[in-house]
Amino acid sequence: MIPARQESMPDADTDVGIPSFDGEHYQSQIQPAPTLSVRSDWSAQVLGKKQTPCQDNLQRKPHMCNHHNHAAACSAEQTQDYRLPTEVVPSRYKLRLTPGLKVTDDDSEEIYKFTGHQKVNVDILESTDRIVVNAKNLDIHEAYVLSKGSKRRFNGTVVLDDKNELAIVTFDRKLAAGKWTFCCRFTGTHNTKLKGFYLSVWEDNLGGKHQIFTTQFESTDARQAFPCWDEPAFKAEFDVQLVVPQKLVALSNGRDVKTESLGNGWKIVTYQRTPKMSTYLVAFCVGEFESSEPVFTNGKELRIWSIPGKNHLKSFAIKCAKFGVEFYEDFFGRPYFGGDKIDMIAIPDFASGAMENTGLITYRDTALLVDEDKASYGEKARVAEVVLHELDHQWNGNEVTMDWWDGLGLNESFATIMAYVAMNSMFPEWHIYNEFGLDRAQAFALDSLKTTHPVFAPINHPSEIAQRFDAITYEKGGSLLFQCIQFIGYETFRHGLRIYMNRHALANTRVTDLWDALEEACKLEGKNIPVRSFMDAWMNTAGHPIVSVEEISGKPGAIRLSQSQFLFLGDDAATAPLWPVPVHIRYKSANGTIKEDKFLFCDLEHEVDLGENFDWLVVNASGPGFYRVAYGASLLSKLTGNISETLEVIERFNLVNDSWAAVRARLMSATDYLDLVKTFSNENDPNVWAIIGSSLRALYGLTEGAARKVFKEAIIRQLVGPVFNQLGWQPQPGESVHTLQLRGQLANLLGTIGSDEAVREKARDLFEQWKADRASVDPNVVPALIAILAHTGNRTRFD
Ligand code: BES
Ligand code: ZN
């Protein structure tokens, strides 16, 4: 699915179904029973390779590194000025904030300020005369330390280093190593930039304006709300108090344990102490909020909050949340760590899709609120994905946290794939792993540019952190974990995660800790798989390979594989790296049995002798490998001769996606591509169609005049028309979500770039019908109606 944090990708608003995977997937899936010849042990082959990438590319210090993909990053100037010294370590913040104080500034503009007061228990590990914390856009009025038992007080002098977002508090004497309390008073301004402690304004039906004061701290904006050690490795407990008007709802990470009236229309709310956690996960939300009825699960109270009047849009997300908490508690073998409540709240102005603050998960409206009965599949799938993604973070990220932002993939790659694992369990009928193909396609697309980067690479400056929330971290990292799951087996993967979670709970990790835990699980299960070097090779290398497969003439049953880096503009890829490619071949032998072969391919070239002739053969069977495949002409025509027999959904998806990428890389002609696509005349999967559709749109954009007319008639309408006509406009009882989606997608293609007059006319009728009675048209086709009307519209219609 396409996350809100980025906009590019095919116009595919799709979905669909891989068989649920497990460790035995390779062995058990094929009909009739396969004779499985596992050519060799995966592990020996990984270990045997010299191409192990730079292992220490995550180090903070500059270092020498020969791996060509790292060269740019490694040689970049590295400045550590923005990093906090480590001799003073916080353990508990006692923080009181008073948000929403209206003041008038010099230009008579109304602005909102907050004041704060905090006392932080710190351990001074080495005697020092300064305490350095992060602070940004804060006025710190007073800073001092108290010795143990508050017997002595020393005042500090605050100097702000705006460039590095630091407040340096110096004392006129050395503070001895030991326990101290660091205290300060400060003031800040609520901004409207959706970061830090910001102001969100919404309008009611009568035009009345209402304020919400809410937070978004990831990655480095807690420092805009209170002076703090704003790096993920400085975990601490938080005792939060909010001082707010009596009539407002005020939420934070923990449950409110005490509310005291101040008598003047204001109240102080005290929240349950949080577990040890990083500052970027702290959250506050203050405003006029309403919640649905709570749902209870395993001792936790789950609620969904929003501005008033939206309780009818909460049933679907609450089901997903309940499922998610139960699923992850079981999956990771650990109860939710954050306390006894989880609030989820829709914020009208929100920068990304959602944010996993411990116990107070914030969302943009559309990622949480949905009318269960009237929504399209796509809208519901988005809510399920986001909710399950953020809930996964409560374990991956919140309880066990990367120790620096270069390990962001530990959070985001993980949550990407775990959301799918959980969705697959909650909605098996969605066949969601087929839809994951679209995520992978998005990763492939970005990773095919020269400017791509490894999933794990150094962060040289905080300004680089935001760039890492991209399709490489999310979708490529998630795809590589999916490849890993298939490689080591689902149960082993889970076993390893349990080791990892239990070993590092409430602490911080480097990515190697995860690979080591997975490798340990493999060992415990008698599998000799060097997970660490395998994963490092993929995660620390920019780009991905294309594996070319050719028959060897004069040797029936033998094929030659070769690998090289795939780039859209690949002329100067002189020193391409080699990847340990998990190859899974499925083929139909001449006597009609389906067989498999599985091996790790680490060289430039490799010959495979199947020992018998075959009818057809598919490489990257079941599709989890993060590589593209280019079949030689004879192999391709064997596959496309009877696509519905030879290829599973995800394999068809990969074939089309790889071929369309090959066109863009000038490895295949557009004519050959269109010939290939024509063999998909019986295709009924919306994900496969998403790729076909986006390629048709791209090609359409390249045509004009007479050529465009031919393209519309002879290609688009000929290809799409028959499939759409079989479906018709009217959904049939019991249709799968895939068929419902497909109808909208195909109508969209025909009515826009296909210029199909009949479809356009029907779209206009249905749109009028929908305006009169929303329930009269299937929600899955409404986006197509709007697309078609917009495509053929004018100013009046737009208005
Ligand atoms: N941790 C992120 C939110 C975030 C994104 C913070 C960018 C700072 C910068 C959150 O877990 C997330 O990944 N949200 C996604 C939704 C998800 C389903 C892909 C988003 O916001 O798009
Ligand atoms: Zn995330």
In short, whether 221's Cβ falls inside 6 Å of ligand 1 is no
Kindly report the protein residue whose alpha carbon is nearest to atom 2 of ligand 1. 355
Confidence label for 572 from pLDDT (cuts 50, 70 and 90) = low
Residue 588 has what pLDDT? 96
In short, whether 439's Cβ falls inside 6 Å of ligand 1 is no
pLDDT digits (tens, 9 = 90+) for 679-699: 998 999 999 999 999 999 999
Handedness of CA 790, 794, 797, 799 (dihedral sign): positive
The string of DSSP codes covering 28-95 is H--SS---EEE-S-HHHHHHT-S-PPPTTTT-SS------GGGHHHHHS----TTSPPSSEEEEEEEE
Rounded Cα–Cα distance for residues 213 and 244 (Å): 10
On the question of pLDDT at 76 being above 90, the answer is no
pLDDT digits (tens, 9 = 90+) for 93-123: 999 999 999 998 888 889 999 999 999 999 9
CA dihedral 499, 503, 507, 509 (to 10 degrees): -60
Residue 100 has what pLDDT? 97
C-alpha 363 to ligand 1 mean position (Å): 9
Place of tokens 């020992």: 611
In short, whether 3's Cβ falls inside 6 Å of ligand 1 is yes
Q: Which atom of ligand 1 is nearest to the CA of 469?
A: 7
The string of DSSP codes covering 245-307 is ETTSEEEESSPEEEEEE-SSSEEEEEEPPPPSB-GGG--EEEES-EEPPPEEETTEEEEEEES
Pocket test for ligand 1, best of 1, 5, 474 (most atoms within 8 A of CB): 5
C-alpha 408 to ligand 2 mean position (Å): 9
Across the range 789-796, mean pLDDT stands at 92
Name, in order, each residue with C-beta under 8 angstroms of 190's C-beta and a sequence gap of 6 or more.
99, 100, 111, 112, 113, 114, 197, 198, 199, 213
pLDDT digits (tens, 9 = 90+) for 119-146: 999 999 999 999 999 999 999 999 999 9
State the catalytic residue, choosing from 218, 356, 385, 390. Answer: 390
pLDDT digits (tens, 9 = 90+) for 260-292: 999 999 999 999 999 999 999 999 999 999 999
Name, in order, each residue with C-beta under 8 angstroms of 647's C-beta and a sequence gap of 6 or more.
618, 639, 655
Which residue type does 479 have? Answer: S
390 is an active site residue: yes
Rounded Cα–Cα distance for residues 91 and 88 (Å): 10
Whether residue 580 contacts residue 45, with contact meaning beta carbons closer than 8 Å, is answered with yes
Stated length of the chain: 799
On the question of pLDDT at 37 being above 60, the answer is no
Whether residue 554 contacts residue 511, with contact meaning beta carbons closer than 8 Å, is answered with no
> 771 is written with which tokens?
């305006």
Provide the CA 64 distance to its chain's centre, in angstroms: 32
Residue 62 has what pLDDT? 28
Backbone torsions φ then ψ of 418, nearest 5 degrees = -65, -35
| CA distances for 93 relative to 89, 122, 359, 645, angstroms | 11, 9, 17, 63
Rounded Cα–Cα distance for residues 752 and 793 (Å): 11
* Angle (CA) 498 499 505, round 5°: 85
Backbone torsions φ then ψ of 480, nearest 5 degrees = -70, -30
**Mean pLDDT for the chain overall:** 90
Q: Which atom of ligand 1 is nearest to the CA of 389?
A: 18
In short, whether 389's Cβ falls inside 6 Å of ligand 1 is yes
Whether residue 559 contacts residue 617, with contact meaning beta carbons closer than 8 Å, is answered with yes
Residue 5 has what pLDDT? 54
In short, whether 397's Cβ falls inside 6 Å of ligand 1 is no
Which residue type does 502 have? Answer: N
- Helices 737-751 & 782-791 angle (0-180, nearest 10): 10
On the question of pLDDT at 405 being above 80, the answer is yes
Specify the pairing of strand 508-509 against strand 401-402: parallel
Kindly report the protein residue whose alpha carbon is nearest to atom 5 of ligand 1. 352
| CA distances for 589 relative to 104, 655, 663, angstroms | 80, 21, 31
Backbone torsions φ then ψ of 402, nearest 5 degrees = -60, 150
Residue 6 has what pLDDT? 38
Confidence label for 430 from pLDDT (cuts 50, 70 and 90) = very high
Name which of 234, 257, 258, 261 is nearest 245 in CA terms: 261
pLDDT digits (tens, 9 = 90+) for 19-29: 222 223 322 22
Per DSSP (E only), the strands in 504-566 are: 508-509, 545-551, 558-565
Residue 109 has what pLDDT? 87
Rounded Cα–Cα distance for residues 377 and 429 (Å): 12
Across the range 314-331, mean pLDDT stands at 98
Place of tokens 């707010």: 244
Q: Kindly calculate the radius of gyration of the chain based on its CA atoms and give it in whole angstroms.
A: 28
Residue 80 has what pLDDT? 80
Kindly report the protein residue whose alpha carbon is nearest to atom 20 of ligand 1. 353
Rounded Cα–Cα distance for residues 723 and 743 (Å): 9
Whether residue 439 contacts residue 1, with contact meaning beta carbons closer than 8 Å, is answered with yes
Residue 462 has what pLDDT? 82
